[in-house]
Amino acid sequence: MRKIVFAILAVAALSLAGCTKRYSPNGYEIVGGTEYYAILPAQEYLMAIADDMVTDVLGELETALKVEDLGNSASLRFDMAEGSILEEGKTWKVTGSTRALKGMTIKNIGSDTWEMAFDGDYSLNDYVYPVSFIAKAKRGSQITNNHYNWGVTINGNRTERGGYSCTYSSKSTVLYQCTQDNKVGWNDVEGTYLLTVLLDNEPIDLWALEFDGIPSEAIFSRGL
Amino acid sequence: MKRLLTIVSAALISAGSFISAAQGQNEISVYMGVMNAEYTSVDINRRYNYYRDLYALYEPNYDIGCYPTVTLDYNRRVLSWMSAGVQANWALMHGTGRYVMESAPETSFRQHMVAVLPQAKFYIPGPKRFRPYAKVGLGIGFSLGDQVVGKPVTFAWDIAPIGFEWGSNTVYAIFEASFGNVITGMRFGIGYRF
In the three-class reduction of DSSP (H, G, I as helix; E, B as strand; rest coil), residue A172 is classed as strand
Distances (CA, A) of B126 to A35, B22, B131: 58, 12, 6
Q: How many domains does chain B have?
A: 1
- Name the pTM for this structure: 0.64
CATH number of the domain within which B57 lies: 2.40.160.20
Q: Is B15 a residue whose pLDDT tops 50? A: no
Domain holding B151, by residue range, is: 2-193
Domain regions of chain A by residue span: 31-222
Non-local CB neighbours of B46 within 8 Å, separated by 6+ positions: B55, B56
In the three-class reduction of DSSP (H, G, I as helix; E, B as strand; rest coil), residue B100 is classed as coil
Which residues of chain B lie closer than 8 angstroms to A20, CB-CB?
A: 66
Which residues of chain A lie closer than 8 angstroms to B53, CB-CB?
A: 160-161, 164
Q: ipTM > 0.90?
A: no
For residue A61, which of A151, A190, A173, A157 has the smallest C-alpha distance? Answer: A151
Per-residue pLDDT band for B144 (boundaries 50, 70, 90) equals confident
B59 closest CB neighbour out of A128, A162, A197: A162
The model's pLDDT over A102-123, given as tens digits with 9 standing for 90+, comes to 999 999 999 999 999 999 888 7
State the Cα–Cα distance between residues A189 and A47, nearest whole angstrom.
12
The model's pLDDT over A156-192, given as tens digits with 9 standing for 90+, comes to 998 888 888 999 999 989 999 987 766 667 888 999 9
Q: Work out the end-to-end distance of chain B between its first and last CA atoms, rounded to an integer number of angstroms.
A: 40
At residue B128, the pLDDT reads 80
Q: How far is CA A177 from the centre of its chain?
A: 17
B52 closest CB neighbour out of A1, A7, A45: A45
State the Cα–Cα distance between residues A183 and A176, nearest whole angstrom.
12
Which residues of chain B lie closer than 8 angstroms to A37, CB-CB?
A: 98, 100
Per-residue pLDDT band for A4 (boundaries 50, 70, 90) equals very low
What 8-state DSSP symbol labels residue B71? E
